[in-house]
Structure 1
C-alpha cells in the first residue's frame, strides 16, 4: 500500500517542480497536492492500525505523514493564497526528520537504497525551507528542477520497480543513487548559476568638462 502511495508522490513532486519553474499555475497544482496529501495521511494511518504493534512497520509508516502534511499544507496554501513562510519552516522540520529516517533505514530497517533516498528528501525539503521559508528566490528555479528529478528518481521509478518485482541489487542501487545525486545536483547548480541573469554593472558618469571661457 505504501508503494502505491510512493508512485503518486512522484506525480505530485513532478507537478510541484513544474510549479516552481513557472510551467504550472499555483491553483492548477493545488488539487494533486490535496489528493496525494490525503493519500499519504490515510495510508500510514491504516498501516499503523494494522501493524499489530510491530515497531518496524510503525517506524516505516510514520515517516509518510511528513509528506502527507506537506502536500496538504501546500494545496491549501495555494487555494487560499497563503504566505509560504509556514510551509517553508515546516519543511525545515521535515528535512531534519528525514535525516533521522535515513539513519533508521540504514541501521534499523536494513534498507540502504531508501537510506540514501531519505537523504535526497532531506536535501529537497531543505531547499523548500530556503526558498519558501527564507524567501531566497534566486534558488527557486534550481529547486524546481531538483524537485522534478527527485519525483522520478526517488518515487515514481522505485515504486514501479517495487510493484513489478524488479527492485534488485540494493547495494548497487544505493551506491548509484549516492554518487548520482552528488554529481547531478552539483552539476545542475553550476548550470543554473550560469544561466541566472547577472545584475548590470553600474557605470560611473563621465566627468564633466568645464566650459572654456575667454
Structure 2
C-alpha cells in the first residue's frame, strides 16, 4: 500500500516542479497536492493501525506523514494564496528528519537504495526551505527542475519497479542513484545559474582585453 502512495508522490513532485518552472497554474496544482497529501496521511495511519506492534512498519510508515503534511500544507497555501514561510520552515524540519530516515534505512532496515533516496529528499526539502522559507527566489528554476526529476527518480520509477518485481540488485541501484544525483544536480546547477549557458560559454571564451583598450 505504501508503494501505491509513493507512485503518486512521484506525480505530485513532478507537478510541483512544473509549477515552479512556470508551466502550470499554482491553484490547479494545489488541488492535486491536497489529493496526494490526504493519501499520504491515510496510508500510514492504516499501516500503523494494522501492525501497531511491528517497529519496522511503524518506523517506515512514520516517515510518510512528513510528505503528507507537506503536500496538504502546500495545497492549502496555494489555494488560499498564503505566505510560503510556514511551508518553508516545515521543510527544514523535514530535511533534517530525512537524514535520520536515511540512516535508519542504511543501518537498521538494510535498504541502501532508499537510504540514498532519503538523501535525495533531504536535499530537495532543503531547497524548499531556502526558496519558500528564506525567500531565495533565485533558486526557483533550479528547485523546479530538481523536484520534477526527483518525482520520477525517487518515487514513480522505484514504486513501479517494486510493484512489478523488477526492483533488484540493491547495491547497484544505490550506486547508480548516487552517481546520477551528483552528476545531474551539479550539471543542473551549472545550467540554471548560467555557467553552462550560451552566454556563459561566450563569456568564458571571449579573449581578454587590457583595460586601457
For 1:131 and 1:67, the matched residues in 2 are separated by: 17
> Equivalents in 1 of 2:79, 2:3: separation in Å?
28
Higher helix share: 2
Counting matched residue pairs gives 198
Residue 179 of structure 1 and its aligned partner are, at CA, apart by: 1.2
1:120 deviates by 0.1
Give the structure 2 partner of residue 57 of structure 1.
Answer: 57
- 3-state DSSP class of the match of 1:6? helix
Q: Secondary structure at the match of 1:31?
A: helix
Does the aligned pair in 1 maintain the 2:16–2:147 contact within 8 Å? yes
**CA displacement 1:26-53 (0-9 Å, x = unmatched):** 1110111000000000000000111140
RMSD over equivalenced CA pairs, Å: 1.3
For the residue of structure 1 that corresponds to 2:51, the secondary structure is coil
Deviations 1:146-176 (A, max 9, x none): 0000000000000000010010010000001
The answer to whether 1:38 aligns with 2:32 is no
- Listed as ranges, the gaps of 5+ residues in structure 1 are 199-214
In the aligned structure 2, how far is the partner of 1:8 from the partner of 1:27?
A: 18
Q: Any idea what SS the aligned residue of 1:72 has? A: helix
Task: Quote the Cα distance in structure 2 between the aligned partners of 1:111 and 1:166.
Answer: 15
Task: Measure, in 2, the Cα distance between the counterparts of 1:87 and 1:63.
Answer: 17
* 8 Å contact from structure 2 (residues 52, 58) kept in 1: no
Q: Which blocks of at least 5 consecutive residues in structure 2 are unaligned?
A: 201-213
SS in 2 for 1:82: coil
Deviations 1:179-207 (CA, angstroms, capped at 9, x unpaired): 11011000100011115999xxxxxxxxx
- 2:172 aligned with 1:161, yes or no? no
Higher deviation after alignment, 116-125 or 50-59: 50-59
- What TM-score, normalized to structure 1? 0.91
Structure 1 residue ranges (4+ consecutive) displaced by more than 2 angstroms after TM superposition: 195-198
